[in-house]
Amino acid sequence: MTIFEGTFAQTDSLRFAIVVGRFNDLVTTRLLEACQDCLKRHGINPDPQGSQVDYAWVPGAFELPMVARRLAMTGRYDAVICLGAVIKGQTPHFEHVSSEVSKGIAAASFQTGVPVIFGVLTTDNMQQALERAGIKSNLGWEYAMSAIEMASLMRQMPNGADGNGFNNTLSASSISHHTLSAAHAEEHH
């Protein structure tokens, strides 16, 4: 049996995109700094003027999935890191935003085949968010580690083909064609 496992070596050819929410920027900028530090310490140049990491700033966490998906679809990145903070308030807004952001980020990854890292803090208050963004530890480092490991892992895996050499990725038009064909066949039985 083959074992696939990501590593943290040979990172000089890896490319990343980091999508950061401006809302709660006191928290997200700290996450970004730790993320950049981790990348740098693993041989990746986080300079926006360099060739390994691109950055996109969005208004808030809710906008992260759409931009992450768009970046992942370009095929230019080995992984996309989403950084945001959703802090609970007095309304159900927190639950709605948190749920949609997590579903959207997961969908972006599944739809594109590119690892999209969920680096969104969901906390009860600002104190908890700040603790996770640098006071006690900084999860931005962990999000970068996940991105490096997943990028390395995906490079080792077979390229989306099943055992017969067929690509498992279907385009929207081929999905529509298969759906229509199945519906047509069903009508005639």
Q: CA 109, CA 7: separation in Å to the nearest integer?
A: 20
Q: CA 52, CA 188: separation in Å to the nearest integer?
A: 54
At 160 the pLDDT is 55
Q: Going from the first residue of the chain to its last (189 residues), give the mean pLDDT of each consecutive group of 10, the final group possibly shorter.
A: 84 96 97 98 96 97 98 98 92 86 97 98 95 92 97 87 37 35 37
Q: CA 112, CA 79: separation in Å to the nearest integer?
A: 11
CB-count exposure of residue 19 (10 Å: 0-12, 13-18, 19+): buried
Q: CA 72, CA 69: separation in Å to the nearest integer?
A: 5
Q: CA 108, CA 61: separation in Å to the nearest integer?
A: 14
At 187 the pLDDT is 39
* DSSP summary character for residue 91: S
Give catalytic residue positions: 93
